[in-house]
Structures are given as structure tokens and as C-alpha cells.
Amino acid sequence: MSVADIWEAEELLWTGGTDAFRNRMAEGCLMVFPGMGVLKWDAVLDALSAAPRWSQVAMTERHEEASDGVIVLAYRARGLRDGDEPYDAYCSSTWVQIGGQWRIAQHHQTPLG
């Protein structure tokens, strides 16, 4: 899997359902969402199952660092949901290679505005 594939997987986590997360999260994955705090594996899936998905996301100001089975992404996101105001945030994610597969181990969002 290339870094471009990781970016595609990252976008799918925004627009896909809980299965997108379940199929890509590392065991013990930690995520920080505004208004929810720090969530781990089951809590991430529970929170996402109750939340509407983003209809689209634009990722700009993309940066990545890769080395020996770890890829860190940092970017600015603008998520859109039907009927909602756009959501703007700076985000970071850490992907790790486990058993030959890339898994997300960490994600953080810092809202803008």
C-alpha cells in the first residue's frame, strides 16, 4: 500500500460507515474528537454509529512522514454534511503496518473557528 492509498483510506474514514473504521483500526486505536474527548476502539465505533456521515471531505495542506512501518498524516479538512454548516479542522492520523496491513492507530481533530 502506498502513501496515496493511505490518503484514500483516510478519506474513506470520513465518508464511510462504521465498517470503514472497524476494518482499518488498529487494536487500541485512540481518537480525539471535539466535544467527545479521547475515545478508544469500541467507544469510537459506538460514537460513529450514532453520528451522520460526512457527504464529502476536502483535505488540503497535506503533509506526510513515513518510515519503517509508520505513516503520519497531517492536513486541513473541510467536511460537509447535508443541511449542516461546513466543519473545518486541522487533523492528524498515525497509520502503522501490522501483519502486512496498514491500520490507523491514532487520529486527532482540532476544530477551526
Tell me the pTM. 0.92
CA proximity to 88, closest of 63, 52, 70, 61: 61
Break the chain into its structural domains and give their ranges. Answer: 3-111
Q: Residue 11: pLDDT above 80?
A: yes
pLDDT of residue 82: 83
Whole-number CA gyration radius for the chain: 13
- Whether CATH 3.10.450.50 fits 3-111: yes
* C-alpha cell read off for 102: 496498514
Residues 99, 59, 47, CA angle at the centre, nearest 5°?
65
Coil/strand/helix, residue 45: helix
- Mean pLDDT for the stretch of residues 51-77: 95
